[in-house]
Amino acid sequence: MKKITSKSQLAIVLSGLKGFNNPKVSQEQYLMDGEIGASMLWNSYLLGDLNSKVIADLGCGTGILGIGALLLGAKKAISIDSDKNVLKIAKYNILKVKSEGYNIGDFTTICSNVKKINLKADLVVENPPFGTKMRHNDRMFLEKALEIAPVVYSFHKSETKVFLERFSAKKNARITHIWDYKFPLKATFDFHSRQIHYINVSCFRIERAGQILSSVN
Read off the pLDDT of residues 138-181 as tens digits, 9 standing for 90 and up.
Answer: 899 999 999 999 999 999 999 999 999 999 999 999 999 999 99
Mean pLDDT, the chain, as a whole number?
A: 88
What average pLDDT does the segment 18-37 reach?
Answer: 75
pLDDT at 197 over 90: no
pLDDT of residue 198: 87
First to last CA, the chain: 25
Residue ranges per structural domain of the chain:
37-208
Report the predicted TM-score, pTM, of the whole model to 2 decimal places.
0.89
- Surface-to-core class of residue 213, CB atoms within 10 Å of its CB (0-12 exposed, 13-18 middle, 19+ buried): middle
Does 37-208 carry CATH code 3.40.50.150?
yes
